[in-house]
Amino acid sequence: MKLEKLFSKMPCQILCAGSDLKRTIRGGYACDMLSWVVSRIDSGEIWLTILNSVNVVAVATLSECACVMLTESVEMEADVLSRAKEKGLTIVTTPLTTYEAAVSISRLLEAEQTTAGRN
């Protein structure tokens, strides 16, 4: 599923539109410890977190994740978003909890796979 399609099916707001909203998402990773994320998230996965400092931008860039989804309606400061824009990162925020967002993404990806399987 492409990022832009996922965003259209979830309650979320784009805070920073990165360089590739047509990027394909392959899954997600939920964690608020940077060293775990940088080491374990795969490129093409959505990172679910409540962290919103500039270090999130560094870790997301290094790990090449598909996008950062801030949960629980967490916002990001303008200077951090500006850094994200420089790096071509996509950042969105959702009112869902991390658990709810993960379940929602999982169901959407599964539904798309099922549909693709029928076609």
Partner 1 sequence: MRMAVQTVKLSFQIRGSDFVNAGEASSNTKKALSRIGLNPSVVKRAAIAMYEAELNAMIHAGGGQADVEIFPDHVVIQIADRGPGIPDVDLAMQAGWSTAPDIAREMGFGAGMGLPNIKKHADDMRIETIVGQGTTITIHILFA
| Shortest Cβ 62–partner 1 spacing (Å) | 5
CB-based burial label for 9 (10 Å; 0-12, 13-18, 19+): middle
Judged by CB under 8 A, does residue 97 bind partner 1? no
Inter-CA distances, 30 with 12, 73, 85, 117, Å: 16, 15, 22, 27
Q: Which two tokens stand for residue 85?
A: 């824009």
| Shortest Cβ 105–partner 1 spacing (Å) | 21
Judged by CB under 8 A, does residue 63 bind partner 1? yes
**What is the end-to-end Cα distance of the chain in Å, rounded?**
15
| Shortest Cβ 6–partner 1 spacing (Å) | 23
Q: Footprint of partner 1 on residues 1-60 (CB under 8 A)?
A: 32-36, 38-39, 43, 49, 51, 53-56, 58-59
> For residues 54 and 34, is the Cβ–Cβ distance under 8 A?
no
Residues interacting with partner 1, by CB under 8 A?
32-36, 38-39, 43, 49, 51, 53-56, 58-59, 61-64
